[in-house]
């Protein structure tokens, strides 16, 4: 192996070991508001339960909630296709962990992913011995990829996306990033633009396949639709009040949304704002912010149905956002008024809900382009712009229905990525040597 590559990974590894005390301190700091961050530290260093060697293991890694939710349908399909295999699911955050437990219970093996440290990875791989690693979207770690390559464990980057910003970041660490990419077995890219960016970093065409975005393959069953309709009936009340959902907000966005809401209720005073912060540790502060603004606020976690006098329902539960999209008249997707890059625009589109967003959309540039071209989405860059779009859509039901229909048409037209991805995975598993001890 090239000496420069070895040195780059050596210095990277030394750096990781040096900053580990700071990483632990950050977990403690985050644990002040989210106590789960203070638990299960051993798993992060590879101290996990051992899986019997004879069992075929498919390891799926998803960082947090967004990637985990995208992985859930894929994991279910893998369980159906390979009933004798054990799905080992790792996450990095407690919220991602909670989604895994809620979705699968004890039907999967679930632990936190090990940090990208050679000793932690060696311990983890000896105990889990995966036949295949599937990494969701963008979570690439040099030592993890290298350790799998040394053990002949194929690695698939599934539903892969690479923004211009991320590509520039990888270019700055070229001696580390380029060799890492060459050790990937396959990259299943969401779009041709993502594929081109991976190629520009040194990935070869033989490693690459454009499969599409599996989030378009969202299935909304009859029971889910019925639950969303019931929720809408409860929230609307006797007055059939309008429902505006603002989903996945980050710090700095809630104030803008509340400024916009103040303008909306001047014209539509009975509007119920359903406000869902992205991170659970922010639930209390956002609830307090709503009350400071003088809005009667009820929290979803209490189970109380909003009264006609309540103005804001704070979505402070986990795993219900999909139902909220189905229950509301229109949705604003957060992470887009601050430089985060946006969140999942496909979910509201699949429900046939008009989509509003801020301008920061580098994580969903292709999806936003499709929705904008179809007139299923509008971009609003300020509180007055948000208020104007909301009031226009609330005041023109036909426009709202047409916009929602256009959004759903985009979601329906782009299905099929899941089947292509599973076909790619099936090909690699068919080539897998199974539990041959030579590669252990």
Mean local confidence (pLDDT), 377-395: 98
Backbone torsions φ then ψ of 39, nearest 5 degrees: -115, 160
**Cα gap 78→71, rounded to integer Å:** 10
Per-residue pLDDT band at 216 (split at 50, 70, 90): very high
Of 67, 253, 281, 347, the active-site residue reads 67
Biggest alpha carbon distance in the chain? 72
> What strand order describes the sheet that includes 86-91?
109-112, 86-91, 57-61, 132-136, 155-160, 186-189, 208-210
Say what the pTM is.
0.88
Domains in the chain: boundaries: 3-212+417-435, 222-413
| pLDDT number for residue 431 | 86
Class for domain 3-212+417-435, per CATH?
alpha beta
Domains 3-212+417-435 and 222-413 share a fold: yes
| pLDDT number for residue 435 | 52
Per-residue pLDDT band at 119 (split at 50, 70, 90): very high
pLDDT in tens, 410-428: 999 999 999 999 999 999 9
Mean local confidence (pLDDT), 14-36: 93
Active site residue 219: no
CATH 3.40.50.2000 fits 222-413, yes or no: yes
The runs of H, that is alpha helices, within 31-163 are 41-44, 65-81, 94-104, 118-128, 142-150
Please count the residues of the chain. 440
Under a CB-based contact definition with an 8 Å cutoff, are residues 244 and 272 in contact? yes
């Amino acid at each position: 192996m090239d000496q420069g590559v070895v040195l780059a990974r050596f210095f990277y590894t030394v750096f990781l070991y040096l900053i580990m005390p700071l990483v632990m301190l950050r977990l403690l700091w985050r644990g002040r508001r989210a106590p789960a961050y203070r638990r299960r530290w051993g798993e992060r260093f590879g101290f996990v339960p051992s899986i019997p060697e004879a069992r075929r293991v498919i390891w799926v890694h998803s960082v947090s909630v967004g990637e985990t939710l995208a992985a859930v349908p894929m994991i279910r399909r893998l369980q159906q296709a390979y009933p004798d295999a054990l799905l080992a699911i790792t996450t990095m955050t407690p919220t991602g962990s909670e989604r895994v437990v809620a979705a699968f219970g004890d039907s999967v093996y679930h632990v936190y992913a090990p940090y990208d440290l050679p000793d932690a990875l060696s311990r983890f791989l000896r105990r889990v011995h995966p036949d295949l690693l599937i990494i969701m979207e963008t979570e690439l770690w040099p030592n993890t990829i290298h350790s799998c390559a040394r053990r002949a464990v194929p690695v698939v980057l599934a539903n892969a996306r690479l923004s211009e910003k991320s590509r520039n970041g990888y270019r700055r660490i070229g001696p580390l990033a380029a060799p890492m990419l060459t050790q990937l077995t396959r990259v299943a890219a969401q779009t041709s633009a993502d594929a081109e960016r991976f190629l520009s970093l040194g990935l070869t065409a033989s490693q690459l396949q454009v499969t599409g975005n599996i989030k378009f393959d969202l299935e909304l069953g009859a029971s889910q639709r019925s639950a969303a309709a019931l929720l809408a009936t409860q929230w609307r009340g006797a007055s059939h009040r309008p429902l505006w959902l603002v989903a996945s907000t980050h710090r700095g966005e809630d104030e803008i949304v509340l400024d916009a809401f103040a303008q909306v209720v001047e014209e539509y005073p009975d509007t119920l704002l359903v406000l869902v912060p992205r991170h659970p540790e922010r639930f209390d502060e956002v609830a307090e912010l709503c009350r400071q603004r003088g809005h009667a606020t009820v929290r979803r976690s209490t189970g109380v149905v909003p009264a006609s006098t309540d103005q804001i329902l704070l979505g402070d539960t986990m795993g219900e956002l999909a139902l909220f999209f189905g229950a509301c008249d229109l949705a604003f997707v957060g992470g887009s008024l601050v430089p985060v890059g946006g969140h999942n625009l496909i979910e509201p589109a699949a429900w046939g809900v008009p989509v509003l967003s801020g301008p920061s959309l580098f994580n969903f540039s292709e999806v936003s382009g499709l929705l904008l071209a179809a007139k299923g989405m509008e971009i609003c860059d300020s509180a007055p712009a948000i208020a104007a779009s909301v009031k226009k859509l609330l005041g023109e039901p036909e426009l709202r229905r047409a916009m929602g229909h256009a959004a759903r048409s985009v979601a329906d037209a782009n299905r099929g990525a899941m089947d292509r991805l599973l076909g790619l995975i099936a090909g690699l598993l068919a080539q897998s040597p199974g539990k041959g001890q030579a590669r252990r």
